[in-house]
Structure 1
Amino acid sequence: MTDALTPRSRREKILELVKQAGYMPIEALTLNFQVTPQTIRVDLNVLADEGRVVRHHGGASIPSSVTNTDYESRRSDFAGVKSSLAQAVSNTISDKSAVFMALGTTMLAMAAALSNRKGLKIITNHTEAALMLAKQPGFDVVVLGGRLDPRNLGTTGPMTLEAVANYRPDVCIFSAGGIDTEGNILDYYEHEAAIVRLMIKRSRRSILAVDHSKFGRSASVLVGNVADIHQLFTDKPPPAGIKKLLKLHKTDLIQVPQRHAGNFHGRS
C-alpha cells in the first residue's frame, strides 16, 4: 500500500480488512497502508461515525459483537483452514475415546475428520454433525436433548445443560466467535456459551480450534479463558499478547499448515 490512495479509497480498503478479520489494530493498519497512526485514527473515526465500524482503544471491529454472521454463509469461510484444523485435531484423538462436540461450522469439518477414527463415543448438541457421525460403523453417537434452534439445528437450553452434566468424556472439542487481547474466549449467544462452559468443565481435556480471523475479534458473551483449556489449534500465529498468555497458562499452541493437514507443529 502507498499514501497515493485517497482518504476515501483507503477507508474502503480499511473496511474490507476489518470485515475480513473481525478486528484490526491501528498498528497493523499503519504498517499496511504506510501512513501515520493519527491518519488511521481519523479514518477509523470517520468509519465509526458512518456506523460502518466500532471503535475500540487501539483499533476497530465489525459493527456488531452481539450477532454472528449467517450460519450458511460461514460454511464456506476459511473452509480449507477448517478442514486442516479438523484433521490435525482428529490426529490427537485416540480411538474409542468419548468426545464432547459443540456447535459451529468448524465442528462440521471436525465431524468429517473424526469419521476416520474408530469406535468413538460422540456426545453433541450439533445435530448435523451427529447425523454425519452416526453413519460410521462402531460409533456411538449421543444427541443431547433440548430445544432445537432453527438457525443452526443445534439443541440448547436447560434440558441440554442437564444432559451435559451426565457425562465425563475424555475430550471436549469446540470453536469460538473470538479471542480478545486478554485471552478471553468469546461467543455470541448466551445459551450456547453456557453449554460449552459446562462441556469444558466436565471433560478431562479441552481443545479449541479457531482460524486466525478470530484473534482480536469482538463478541459479547464470555465462554472462558485460554487458561481454562489444554490446547489451541489455529492456522497462523496469534498476536504476541495472546501467545504470551498461552505460554503463561501452559496452554499448548498448535499451528497447523493448511496444505499439510496431517502434520502440525508442536507447542510454541
Structure 2
Amino acid sequence: MDTASSAPASRPQLVATLVCADAPGIVHAVTGAVVALGGNITGSRQFTSAETGRFSMRLQVDVPASREELERELAPVIERFGITATVDTVGRPMRTLILASTAKHCVNDLLFHVESGHLSLEVPLILANHDDNARLAEFYGVPFEHRPITGPADKAAFEDRVRQVVAEHDIELVVLARYMRVLSPELCEELSGRCINIHHSFLPGFKGANPYRQAHRRGVKQIGATAHFVTTDLDEGPIIEQNVMRVDHTRTPQELMTIGQDTESRTLRQAIALFSEHRVLLDGSRTVVFR
C-alpha cells in the first residue's frame, strides 16, 4: 500500500516507523494518533510478512507538533500492540561513523554526496587502519584517524576506539566503506541493525585476492555489488540493496575493477540513503525496504 499527498513547506515533517506482530486495528490506531494532533499523513507504506507475521509501516506526516508530542500521542498505541517504533524529523542528518582501509572509491563517493547535499549524513570521523584516505578526508573537511592493525591486540584496540566514537558522538550508523577487516562477533552484536557493509558479488562468486582477475579468467558476464547489514555470519546479513552491470569478453581485469568499484560505490550510497530516510526495516533475516 502506498499513499502520498502534498504538505506545507513551512514546517518540517516527521517520519515514524513501526514494526510489530500483525493484528487488526494497527493502522486505524496509528492514524488516529496523527489526527488527534491535527496532523496530515503525506506518505504511508505498509507491509505484512506472510512468513513471519510481522507488520511493518513507514508513515510521513505533516503535524503542528514536535517529535516528542507525536511520540507521546503514539505511546498508548505502541504499548497496546507491542510496537517497536521510531519517530524522527524528515531530512535530519544521520550521525555516521565511516570505517575504511586502503580503497578510496566508496569513501570518496559518500563524502562527495554528503558535501553536495544529496546524502543527509553527519560524519564526525573516518576511522581507518591505513592512511590512504587521509587526503580525501582533509579535502572534504572530515576528521580522519589512522590506527594500524598488525595483530590481535591492535584489532581489539581499534574496535574499542569504534565503541568510544559511537558513544561520544551518539552514532546512529556505522559504514564499512571497503573496510577490509572482519569485525569481532561482539562488535557485530553491539552494532546490530546499524552497521552496513558493501562487497562485490559475482556469479559465480570469487573470494580471496584479486577477485576481478579471477572473474576475468572465468569470463564473467555480470558484475554486481551487495550492501547488507553486518552480522556475525560473514557477508550473510540481511540485504538492503543490490546492483548488477553486464560485461563481456572484451573487458580487461582493470576495466572490470573500475566497473565493479563504481557499482560498489553506487550500491553502498543507495543503501545508506534508504537507511538514513528510515526506509529499511528488519524482518527476521531479510529487510523490508519502503522506496
Higher Cα Rg: structure 1 or 2?
Answer: 2
Could you state the TM-score of these two structures normalised by the residue count of structure 1? 0.30
Identify the structure with the greater helix proportion: 1
